[in-house]
Amino acid sequence: MISRRPSIFIYTHRADPDFLREVQAGIEEENVTSEVFEKEEADADLLAYDACEASMMGSGIGISGENVALQMRGRKPKESVCNIHMPTFSACRIIGSNSARVLKKQCLRDLE
Protein backbone atom coordinates (compact mmCIF):
# COMPACT_ATOMS: atom_id res chain seq x y z
CA MET A 1 0.00 0.00 0.00
CA ILE A 2 1.29 3.40 -0.90
CA SER A 3 0.43 6.10 1.54
CA ARG A 4 1.54 9.68 1.59
CA ARG A 5 0.49 12.70 3.52
CA PRO A 6 -2.48 14.27 1.76
CA SER A 7 -1.63 17.64 0.31
CA ILE A 8 -3.18 20.17 -2.00
CA PHE A 9 -1.50 20.46 -5.38
CA ILE A 10 -0.63 23.90 -6.68
CA TYR A 11 0.19 23.82 -10.40
CA THR A 12 2.14 26.87 -11.46
CA HIS A 13 3.37 28.48 -14.62
CA ARG A 14 5.81 31.31 -13.91
CA ALA A 15 3.75 32.12 -10.84
CA ASP A 16 4.13 35.44 -9.11
CA PRO A 17 6.09 34.39 -5.99
CA ASP A 18 4.15 36.69 -3.66
CA PHE A 19 0.81 35.23 -4.75
CA LEU A 20 2.15 31.72 -4.39
CA ARG A 21 3.47 32.45 -0.89
CA GLU A 22 0.15 33.91 0.27
CA VAL A 23 -1.87 31.03 -1.20
CA GLN A 24 0.40 28.56 0.60
CA ALA A 25 0.03 30.53 3.84
CA GLY A 26 -3.75 30.28 3.50
CA ILE A 27 -3.48 26.50 3.17
CA GLU A 28 -1.03 26.18 6.05
CA GLU A 29 -3.22 28.23 8.40
CA GLU A 30 -5.89 25.56 7.88
CA ASN A 31 -3.35 22.94 9.01
CA VAL A 32 -3.14 21.35 5.57
CA THR A 33 -0.01 20.82 3.51
CA SER A 34 0.59 21.80 -0.13
CA GLU A 35 2.92 20.81 -2.95
CA VAL A 36 3.95 23.02 -5.86
CA PHE A 37 4.58 21.74 -9.41
CA GLU A 38 5.77 23.92 -12.28
CA LYS A 39 3.91 23.13 -15.55
CA GLU A 40 4.05 24.01 -19.25
CA GLU A 41 0.34 24.89 -19.37
CA ALA A 42 -0.21 28.64 -19.10
CA ASP A 43 -3.97 28.79 -18.46
CA ALA A 44 -4.70 29.15 -14.74
CA ASP A 45 -8.13 27.52 -15.15
CA LEU A 46 -6.60 24.42 -16.74
CA LEU A 47 -3.74 24.33 -14.24
CA ALA A 48 -6.26 24.36 -11.40
CA TYR A 49 -8.36 21.69 -13.10
CA ASP A 50 -5.34 19.42 -13.66
CA ALA A 51 -4.11 19.99 -10.09
CA CYS A 52 -7.54 19.08 -8.80
CA GLU A 53 -7.78 15.93 -10.92
CA ALA A 54 -4.27 14.83 -9.93
CA SER A 55 -4.77 15.29 -6.21
CA MET A 56 -7.00 13.19 -3.98
CA MET A 57 -8.12 16.19 -1.99
CA GLY A 58 -11.06 17.30 -4.12
CA SER A 59 -9.55 20.71 -4.85
CA GLY A 60 -6.61 22.17 -6.73
CA ILE A 61 -5.01 25.53 -7.38
CA GLY A 62 -3.52 26.93 -10.57
CA ILE A 63 -1.31 30.01 -10.67
CA SER A 64 -0.15 31.36 -13.98
CA GLY A 65 1.78 34.60 -13.70
CA GLU A 66 -0.65 36.90 -11.92
CA ASN A 67 -3.75 34.74 -12.34
CA VAL A 68 -4.85 32.55 -9.45
CA ALA A 69 -7.61 29.93 -9.89
CA LEU A 70 -9.27 27.47 -7.54
CA GLN A 71 -11.04 24.36 -8.79
CA MET A 72 -13.09 21.64 -7.14
CA ARG A 73 -13.48 18.03 -8.25
CA GLY A 74 -16.43 17.42 -10.55
CA ARG A 75 -16.57 20.85 -12.11
CA LYS A 76 -15.83 21.46 -15.76
CA PRO A 77 -12.31 22.56 -16.81
CA LYS A 78 -13.21 26.14 -17.64
CA GLU A 79 -15.60 26.56 -14.71
CA SER A 80 -13.20 27.26 -11.88
CA VAL A 81 -14.64 28.14 -8.47
CA CYS A 82 -12.75 31.41 -8.96
CA ASN A 83 -10.10 32.77 -11.26
CA ILE A 84 -8.72 36.15 -10.30
CA HIS A 85 -6.25 38.33 -12.11
CA MET A 86 -3.99 40.23 -9.71
CA PRO A 87 -5.75 39.19 -6.50
CA THR A 88 -5.02 41.00 -3.25
CA PHE A 89 -2.87 39.14 -0.73
CA SER A 90 -5.90 38.62 1.45
CA ALA A 91 -7.78 37.12 -1.54
CA CYS A 92 -4.82 34.76 -2.10
CA ARG A 93 -5.04 33.68 1.55
CA ILE A 94 -8.76 33.03 1.18
CA ILE A 95 -8.23 31.00 -2.00
CA GLY A 96 -5.62 28.89 -0.19
CA SER A 97 -7.82 28.58 2.86
CA ASN A 98 -10.82 27.60 0.71
CA SER A 99 -8.90 24.88 -1.08
CA ALA A 100 -8.13 23.39 2.35
CA ARG A 101 -11.68 23.89 3.58
CA VAL A 102 -12.98 21.84 0.65
CA LEU A 103 -11.26 18.77 2.00
CA LYS A 104 -12.31 19.61 5.57
CA LYS A 105 -15.91 19.74 4.27
CA GLN A 106 -16.24 23.27 5.60
CA CYS A 107 -18.04 26.09 3.83
CA LEU A 108 -15.94 28.36 1.64
CA ARG A 109 -15.10 31.86 2.78
CA ASP A 110 -16.36 34.68 0.59
CA LEU A 111 -13.78 36.66 -1.33
CA GLU A 112 -14.09 40.31 -0.41
Partner 1 sequence: MSIVAGVDIGNSTTEVCIGEYVQGKPVRFLSGSSVMTTGTKGTLANIHGILAALKEAMGRIGRDVSGIDLIRLNEAAPVIGDTAMETLTETIITDSSMIGHNPSTPAGAGQAAGELLSFDRLGRGLPGTPYIVFVSGDHGYEEVAERINETAGRLDVVGMILQADEAVLVENRLARKIPIVDEVKRIDRIPDGKMAAIEVALPGQFIRMLSNPYGIATLLHLNADETRTVTPIAKSLIGNRSAVVIRTPNGDIRENVLPAGEIYLDAEHPVRISLDEGADKIMKAVSDAGKIRDVTGQADTNVGNMLNRIRKSMSEVSGETDADIHITDILAVDTLAPVLISGALAGETCLEKAVGIAAMVRTQQLPMRQIAAKLSDVLHTQTAVAGVEAVMASLGALTTPGTALPLAILDMGGGSTDAAIIREDGSVSMTHQAGAGELVSMLIQTELGLDNRYMAEQIKRYPLAKVESLFHMRMENGEMYFVQESIDPRFYGRVVLLTESGLVRVEKDVPMERIREIRREAKKKVFLTNALRALRSVAPDHNLRRISNVVLVGGSAADFEIPEMLMEEFAGYGIVCGRGNIRGTEGPRNAVATGLVLSYGGENR
25 forms part of the interface with partner 1 (CB under 8 A)? yes
The answer to whether the CB of 56 falls within 8 A of the CB of 11 is: no
Instruction: From 8-16, 42-50, 61-69, 98-106, give the range in contact with partner 1 by CB under 8 A.
Output: 98-106
36 forms part of the interface with partner 1 (CB under 8 A)? no
Question: What is the three-class DSSP state of 106?
Answer: coil
Give the dihedral of Cα atoms 10, 16, 17, 18; nearest 10 deg. Answer: -110
35 forms part of the interface with partner 1 (CB under 8 A)? no
Min dist. Cβ of residue 29 to partner 1 (A): 5
CA–CA dist 87, 95 (Å, integer):
10
Min dist. Cβ of residue 81 to partner 1 (A): 4
- φ, ψ of residue 52 in degrees (nearest 5): -65, -45
Give the footprint of partner 1 on this chain (CB under 8 A): 25, 28-31, 72-76, 79, 81, 93, 101-102, 105-108, 110
